[in-house]
Structure 1
Amino acid sequence: MLLASVNLNKRLGAAGARSNLAAWLREHGVQAVLAQEPFKPADRTPPTLGGFTFAGGNGHLATWIREDFAPPPVSSLNTWVQRLELQWLVVLQVHLDAYANASRAAQLAELAAMAAAEDDRPLLVCGDFNLAPRPEDGQFGEETSTFTTDAERQALEQLMQTAGLIDTTAEPAPVFTFERIFSGKPSRFRCDLALLSDHLTATATITPDATVRSGPRLFTDHSALLIDLPVTGQPAEPDDVLFALSELTGQDSAAPVARDYQPHKTAMSRQAPSPASRAVTKHLTGPLSVRSVLDHGCGRGVDVAHYRSVGLDAEGFDPHDDFGWPRPARTGFDLVTSMFVLNVLPDPWQRIQALKDAASFARPGGHVVVVTRSPEEISKAAADGGWTTHHDGFWSSQSKGTFQRGIDPGEITALARRAGLTPAAGTPVLPLPGVCHAVLTKPRT
């Protein structure tokens, strides 16, 4: 899904600016508009934006969604922050205080608390922060600007560290998103930001666009941020669509068709234990002094039988009732295995939740082994099978509702950190060609 985050400087009420914005949105194929200061007065009826549905907000912060998508849940947490739910992703759109340093620092501390309340759900924090994240991101004339205080930068850094966010447009040479003349000198800032969960940066693209603030087609004096995210939007109900966007653009609609996920249908019917489970018993259970194992997402339980056959105290769990492996009453396992589970879950939030659940069964100091299909294997299968893109992966069968994504060890580790797991030091590498894995540790405290 392509989002545009932009401070419109209260210009959307003007027909010319509104027309230029609409043309720019069509040109780039934007699917959601996150606007700071879109119109005045703040409580007026939101202006109509051709091809888009107003999803919520006011003249401080507002959101529009392309008409062939269902409007996302939108709530105002405060006058300066708006919360959206885009499927599995939470977006906090902000417009921090433009005048008071102490107020901005306090707002950033509030944002850190809001992010913590999301319980590690994937997060985007975007909008006009009205500050320079680094000294070089603010200039007044030829000098470094003193507008932003150290306290604000420390609060911003604390927000990013505690929430695991990356400042996605922090290039070595700053790309200024705001320029005005004050007291005869140019004032330039990189103040329009997109902070994104660290495990999403490999699958997202964020591009500042300064064309919106220059030339005959300008509609604001801030650069826009084009934020391309691995989110497939929810299609609108037929009654929600008055006319198709294709009638405006002459292009086919990109809105998806709603599907039900059925990850259990990817489970293989094995007669013999998986190579991954055999590698675990051959290379890991001895060196790690493992006596008890839980196979988390065990499917039909063939690997559980293998663990038991080599003398381990093994149990299985699978949330699909028909497999017959209910949730165990006990915890405290030496080892929890998660074999080819993450790659069939359709979004990062479900993967984090699955890892948290798996980790809850391991004892402090115990281990979790995660095995996934590789990005190379999935990319080839998708090309050969003509699979349809969905979120950050593919529908492997739309009729069955099955999903696949290749996940490399780096991504496994990034997701696992959200579940309170860390890479295990000094453990053997499992000889599993063609697939990816990570051996993780549950901290003792």
Structure 2
Amino acid sequence: MRALEDLVLLASINLNKRLGATSARSDLSAWLHAHGVKIVLAQEPFKPVNRTPPALAGFTFAGGDGHLATWVSENLAPPAVSSPAAWVQRVELEWLVVLQVHLDAYSSAARAAQLAELASAATTERGRPLLICGDFNLAPLPRDGLFGEEPSTFTTQAERKALHHLMQVAGLVDTTAEEVPVFTFERVSNGKPSRFRCDLALLSSHLTATTTVTADASARSGPAAFTDHSALLIDLPLTLRETEPDTVLFSLSELAGEGPAAAAARPEYQPHKTAMSRQAPSPAARAVVKHLTGPLNIQSILDHGCGRGADVAHYRSAGLDTEGFDPHDAFGWPRPDRTAFDMVTSMFVLNVLPDPWQRIQALRDAASFTRSGGTIVVVTRSPDEITKAAADGGWSVHHDGFWSSRAKGTFQRGIAKDEITALARHAGLQPTENCPALPLPGVCHAVLTKPRDLLHGS
């Protein structure tokens, strides 16, 4: 039942059907162990596609076939793996969804259509953190595909337009894009070098600050090479478990108060234990009243995740129509029946939620109480403050933050303004234009707007 303390290194690589050979399998195993890889996503791992998957020393086969396959370190519980189509595999790694792909190698029209399908699939994930990786068989930019010294004509504009659309609708970043490309596939064709950056890792924008992606050419060069593609090594900010993960506290079902099962659950994470006992309002709540409610003509406020309610009392004392909500029943602030508040505040909530998916859900839930065009104010502890507290307190790493007290089940992560904004965009929110910054030294904050076309649950 223990969590693994080290974060997770994932390798995505096209094995070009070579895993059936004992020598290639041995070289791959040595490479995986030398790099400390925990999860292997393989495109074209073996042939024929329906054969029994070859065994990898130290790894458990998690699912797939000769098109796409996944292995995990034998001390990890295998993730849920499914195959929506022959060219895409869906892997659930706790809060992160990974779509492993191998796009068509022969038809540009097929690749464009597959990218359009990926865009639709990403939309159905409803903002869940996403990694799409594998062999895309295309060059995202002309400089990423060369024949000789000139741009290759292999990739069409239609493909690039479809790739751009996918990244735009899903909020993804091409993590290995560089002014000078690092090519992941090279060969000589008709006497000229053909070079492509075609092995890609597209990542949710709010994860880029905590995820390192590198292309490792050692997989295809030197005496121990086992394929003709570079591998992508992706250091993910998550902690996997040896058993199924416990139910989380701040889930949408609990936020919505759905049935006795949510209340009866005894989750590992207990963010309510981070709530401060204080009589005075927080400096953040005082700043909201002093600097925002007047200029923004705010008449009504919901404090979302209000804890014991000191800030609710402050808003009410300022003459604002105010309610509070906290999912921890003992605090006595049940989910309100009304919505359409002018403003919703979220004070030090995101930084105690143990993964980005819960943070996005919490933001989306906060927005559900805000009127169309209304304001959401998010305040978090800063990365500097949490880093110092973790060092001073000997906190252990968990996901993209730390256990502040493992015995209590409390988590902390410092979240900068840019990350708040990136999370908010995935929740359908936008930064408020021409809004002055609040004078809140030592913490981070963002003032957000609910677009007029954003529907609850969209």
- Give your verdict on TM over 0.5: yes
The residue that corresponds to 1:51 in the other structure is: 58
The residue that corresponds to 1:299 in the other structure is: 307
Q: Does 1:352 align with 2:360?
A: yes
Distance 2:433 2:112 in 1: 38
The residue that corresponds to 2:440 in the other structure is: 432
Q: Does 1:70 align with 2:77?
A: yes
**Equivalent runs, 1:90-169 vs 2, <5 Å:** 90-169=97-176
Q: 2:95 aligns with which of 79, 88, 97?
A: 88
Distance 2:451 2:166 in 1: 23
**Equivalent runs, 1:40-439 vs 2, <5 Å:** 40-236=47-243, 260-439=268-447
Distance 2:229 2:132 in 1: 17
Which residue type is aligned with residue 127 of structure 2?
A: D
- TM-superposed CA distance for 1:17, in Å, is 0.5
Q: Deviations over 1:220-263 (max 9, x none)?
A: 000000001101112248xxxxxxxxxxxxxxxxxxxxx81111
SS in 2 for 1:92: strand
Distance 2:300 2:345 in 1: 11
Q: Does 1:21 align with 2:42?
A: no
Distance 2:43 2:304 in 1: 44
Distance 1:406 1:180 in 2: 45
Distance 1:187 1:282 in 2: 62
Distance 1:178 1:414 in 2: 32
The answer to which of 144-153 and 427-436 deviates more is: 427-436
TM-score w.r.t. length of structure 1: 0.94
SS in 2 for 1:203: coil
- TM-superposed CA distance for 1:381, in Å, is 0.2
The answer to which of 136-145 and 262-271 deviates more is: 136-145
Distance 1:174 1:310 in 2: 57
Q: Deviations over 1:105-158 (max 9, x none)?
A: 100000100011100111000000011111111112232211111111111111
Distance 2:181 2:427 in 1: 34
The alignment-based identity, stated in percent, is 76
The residue that corresponds to 2:262 in the other structure is: none
Q: Is residue 232–residue 391 contact of structure 1 (8 Å, CA) maintained in 2? A: yes
The residue that corresponds to 1:244 in the other structure is: none
Q: Is residue 68–residue 236 contact of structure 1 (8 Å, CA) maintained in 2? A: no
Q: Is residue 98–residue 130 contact of structure 1 (8 Å, CA) maintained in 2? A: yes
Q: 5+ residue gaps in structure 2?
A: 1-7, 245-266, 454-458
Which residue type is aligned with residue 438 of structure 1?
A: A
Distance 2:167 2:320 in 1: 42
Q: Is residue 340–residue 372 contact of structure 1 (8 Å, CA) maintained in 2? A: yes
Q: 1:442 aligns with which of 450, 455, 458?
A: 450
SS in 1 for 2:56: coil
Q: 5+ residue gaps in structure 1?
A: 238-258
Distance 2:148 2:439 in 1: 59
Which residue type is aligned with residue 36 of structure 1?
A: Q
Q: Is residue 67–residue 236 contact of structure 1 (8 Å, CA) maintained in 2? A: no
SS in 2 for 1:39: coil
Which residue type is aligned with residue 155 of structure 2?
A: T
Q: How many residue pairs align between the two structures? A: 424
The answer to which of 150-159 and 428-437 deviates more is: 428-437
The answer to which of 87-96 and 416-425 deviates more is: 416-425
Which residue type is aligned with residue 116 of structure 2?
A: A
Q: Is residue 94–residue 129 contact of structure 1 (8 Å, CA) maintained in 2? A: yes
- TM-superposed CA distance for 1:444, in Å, is 2.5
Distance 1:68 1:426, change over 3 A: same
Which residue type is aligned with residue 94 of structure 1?
A: V
Distance 1:417 1:210 in 2: 35
- TM-superposed CA distance for 1:215, in Å, is 1.4
Distance 1:426 1:92 in 2: 38
- TM-superposed CA distance for 1:183, in Å, is 2.2
Which residue type is aligned with residue 354 of structure 2?
A: P
The residue that corresponds to 1:245 in the other structure is: none
Distance 2:123 2:174 in 1: 18
Distance 2:224 2:413 in 1: 40
Q: Deviations over 1:179-229 (max 9, x none)?
A: 122222221111100000111111110000111111110100000000011
SS in 1 for 2:182: coil
SS in 1 for 2:269: coil
Distance 1:47 1:421 in 2: 46
Cα RMSD of the aligned pairs, angstroms, is 1.0
- TM-superposed CA distance for 1:427, in Å, is 2.4
Distance 1:343 1:88 in 2: 16
SS in 2 for 1:56: strand
Which residue type is aligned with residue 62 of structure 1?
A: A
The residue that corresponds to 1:248 in the other structure is: none
Which residue type is aligned with residue 221 of structure 1?
A: D
